[in-house]
């Protein structure tokens, strides 16, 4: 497969992003007057602003009842942390030569107080300012999301291994998240785990809950902006939601790994774009594809299918 060239940020540019988000970090003197470039005021900007302007605590209270399993008291979404519309900078993606990597939902992986956390604390403060009518709060929050992979707070357990495989198979660059891989979640609100989610209920609510519909606008505008050549869905919940809401029918099982790994292929239609889609059970868990052998076989079979069905 052809490799793609890229031009990663220099050290000065990268550290400049970090200083803009975390000014208490001691960096080189030449960075102190570095300025963050505002995001374009386009459809994605305003869809994201509308979504983040919602009362997320109230949204979570409603969703915890709507999407919980019958035996569960709650779906256990967190009401004390804002949802995340995307991770990484969609405005930097190479249009048409990029992909979307979509997980189930962001995991709350810390035992410390949310306001003291290096990711959650600034997010909470920025969105509180947005809700008070301070426009700079939203712009500061956008910079945090856009520059997540440059900030030193990347959740390695989730991102490091897929990043390695993206680099090996599709984008031979230092940081695939910069220009080529856009990370999102199917359910943008945090939880400690997804054990209390009822997948069937999520599929139904995704097309009618106001909170989900607001988030779908963000998803659609990301697609309109970056025009991804493929989508990779990480998690059975994510696959079920996309099959129900963005596909004409179920995806087709790919008989490349044990069927229990849940590898499927098909197409998703988001907005006006029909996008080749690879899905699998959540990687990192026993039921999903894990390790080099699983991922290499899965990606090789996907590449064969993708190129035989494109153009």
Q: By percentage, how much of the chain surpasses pLDDT 90?
A: 72
Q: What is the pLDDT of residues 166-187, one digit of tens each?
A: 999 999 999 999 999 999 999 9
Alpha helices, DSSP H, located in 173-290 = 176-179, 199-205, 210-226, 236-246
Q: Which residue has the higher pLDDT, 113 or 35?
A: 113
Q: Please give the pLDDT value at position 155.
A: 65
Give the Å distances, CA to CA, from 277 to 21, 82, 157, 266.
34, 28, 23, 5
Is-contact 72 150, C-beta < 8 A?
no
For 69, other C-beta atoms within 10 Å of its C-beta total 15
Average pLDDT, the chain: 87
Is-contact 175 68, C-beta < 8 A?
no
Using CA atoms, how far apart are residues 125 and 22, in angstroms rounded to an integer? 13
For 132, other C-beta atoms within 10 Å of its C-beta total 8
Which residue in 246, 240, 237 sits closest to 276, CA to CA?
A: 246
Which residue in 58, 84, 60, 56 sits closest to 74, CA to CA?
A: 60
**Least-confidence region, from 24-33, 95-104, 161-170:** 24-33
For 23, phi then psi, to 5°, come to -65, -15
Is-contact 278 233, C-beta < 8 A?
yes
Using CA atoms, how far apart are residues 66 and 212, in angstroms rounded to an integer? 12
Q: Does residue 80 carry a pLDDT above 90?
A: yes
Which residue in 147, 120, 122, 136 sits closest to 17, CA to CA?
A: 147
Using CA atoms, how far apart are residues 101 and 105, in angstroms rounded to an integer? 12
- Is 41 exposed, middle or buried, given 0-12, 13-18 or 19+ CB atoms closer than 10 A? exposed
Q: What is the pLDDT of residues 40-73, one digit of tens each?
A: 899 999 999 999 999 999 999 999 999 999 999 9
Q: Are strands 252-253 and 264-270 parallel, antiparallel or unpaired?
A: antiparallel
Is-contact 31 150, C-beta < 8 A?
no
Using CA atoms, how far apart are residues 151 and 22, in angstroms rounded to an integer? 8
For 244, other C-beta atoms within 10 Å of its C-beta total 17
Q: How confident is the model at residue 34 (pLDDT cuts 50, 70, 90)?
A: very low
**Least-confidence region, from 10-24, 53-67, 273-287, 288-302:** 10-24
Q: Please give the pLDDT value at position 20.
A: 41
Using CA atoms, how far apart are residues 177 and 52, in angstroms rounded to an integer? 22
Q: Please give the pLDDT value at position 111.
A: 66
Q: What is the pLDDT of residues 110-141, one digit of tens each?
A: 667 888 888 899 999 999 999 999 989 999 99
| Per-residue b or e along 135-157, where b marks 16 or more CB atoms closer than 10 Å to that residue's CB | eebbbbbbbbbbbbbbbebbeee
For 40, other C-beta atoms within 10 Å of its C-beta total 10
The single residue listed with the structure tokens 């989730």 is 158
Q: Please give the pLDDT value at position 221.
A: 98
Is-contact 194 238, C-beta < 8 A?
no
Q: Does residue 22 carry a pLDDT above 80?
A: no
Domain ranges, ordered by start, for the chain = 14-20+43-85+96-109+116-308
For 91, other C-beta atoms within 10 Å of its C-beta total 15
Q: How confident is the model at residue 39 (pLDDT cuts 50, 70, 90)?
A: confident
Handedness of CA 187, 193, 198, 200 (dihedral sign): positive
């Amino acid at each position: 497969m052809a490799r793609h060239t890229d031009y990663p940020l220099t050290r000065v540019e990268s550290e400049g992003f970090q200083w803009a988000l975390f000014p208490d970090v001691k960096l080189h003197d030449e960075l102190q007057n570095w300025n963050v470039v505002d995001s374009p005021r386009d459809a994605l900007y305003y869809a994201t602003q509308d979504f983040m302007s919602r009362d997320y605590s109230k949204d979570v209270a409603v969703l915890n009842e709507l999407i919980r399993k019958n035996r569960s008291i709650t779906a256990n979404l967190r009401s004390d942390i804002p949802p995340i519309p995307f991770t990484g900078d969609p405005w930097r993606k190479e249009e048409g030569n990029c992909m979307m990597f979509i997980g189930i939902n962001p995991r709350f992986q810390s035992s410390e107080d949310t306001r003291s956390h290096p990711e959650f604390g600034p997010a909470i403060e920025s969105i509180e300012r947005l809700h008070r009518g301070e426009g700079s709060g939203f712009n500061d929050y956008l910079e945090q999301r856009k520059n997540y992979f440059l900030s030193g707070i990347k959740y390695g357990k989730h991102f490091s291994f897929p990043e390695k495989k993206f680099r090996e198979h599709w984008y031979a660059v230092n940081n695939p998240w910069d220009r080529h891989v856009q990370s999102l979640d199917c359910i943008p609100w945090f939880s400690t785990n997804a054990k209390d989610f009822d997948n069937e209920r999520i599929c139904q609510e995704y097309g009618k809950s106001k909170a989900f519909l607001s988030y779908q606008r963000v998803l659609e505008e990301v697609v309109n902006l970056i025009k991804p050549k493929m989508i990779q869905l990480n998690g059975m919940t994510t696959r079920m939601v996309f099959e129900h809401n963005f596909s004409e029918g179920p995806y087709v099982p790919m008989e490349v790994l044990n069927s229990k790994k849940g590898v499927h292929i098909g197409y998703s239609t988001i907005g006006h774009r029909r996008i080749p889609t690879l899905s699998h059970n959540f990687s990192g868990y026993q039921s999903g594809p894990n390790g080099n052998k699983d991922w290499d076989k899965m990606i090789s079979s996907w590449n064969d299918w993708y190129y035989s069905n494109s153009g």
